[in-house]
């Protein structure tokens, strides 16, 4: 039986709640439809978050992302909707979603949305060598 898309995001308890740690995901197969033309829009989603009490379950995230395939929605709206849904499900310490839409009509669109839990502040970055610092600067 093939999997079906769903708007339900499942979570599991954060196994290391006492530490801030960074979870990074890249989702290269995001699609939705242009609300004006009905043509498909393609994007890579880059999700970074620091969990609090919950982490996202990956299969549910995949099925959730699939749920946008037949929806006509502007890039800005879908990026913020995904972020809002993730914040509601996870209540993370910090989360950022970057949607890098592929070229359409000669224009690339990148939309970045983020959320920070009230009162949470990141620890200062520690770079152990020049390569690590240079890699961070390029992002």
Active-site residue, 52 included = no
* 3-class secondary-structure state, position 67: coil
Q: Which residue among 20, 34, 52, 85 is the active-site one?
A: 34
Query: Which residues are within 8 A (CB) of 84 and not within 5 positions of it... i.e. 6 or more apart?
Result: none
Question: In sequence order, what DSSP letters do the residues of 50-101 get, joined into one string?
Answer: E-SSEEE-HHHHHHHHHTTTT-B--HHHHHHHHHHHHHHHH--SEEEEEEEE
Alpha-carbon distance of 96 to 26, in angstroms, equals 12
Q: Which residue among 20, 32, 41, 84 is the active-site one?
A: 41
**With the C-alpha atoms ordered 80, 81, 84, 85, is the resulting torsion angle positive or negative?**
negative
Question: Hey, which residues does 33 pair with through a beta bridge?
Answer: 40, 72
Known catalytic residues are 34, 41
């Amino acid at each position: 039986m093939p999997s079906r898309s769903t708007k339900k995001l499942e979570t599991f308890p954060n196994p290391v709640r006492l530490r801030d740690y960074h979870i990074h995901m890249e989702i290269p197969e995001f699609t939705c439809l242009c609300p004006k033309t009905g043509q498909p829009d393609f994007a890579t989603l880059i999700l970074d978050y620091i969990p609090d009490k919950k982490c996202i379950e990956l299969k549910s995230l995949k099925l959730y992302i699939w749920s946008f395939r037949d929806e006509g929605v502007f890039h800005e709206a879908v990026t913020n909707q995904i972020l809002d849904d993730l914040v509601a499900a996870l209540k993370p310490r910090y989360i950022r979603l970057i949607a890098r839409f592929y070229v359409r009509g000669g224009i690339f669109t990148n939309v970045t949305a983020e959320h920070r839990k009230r009162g949470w502040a990141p620890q200062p970055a520690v770079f152990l060598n020049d390569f690590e610092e240079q890699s961070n600067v390029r992002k």
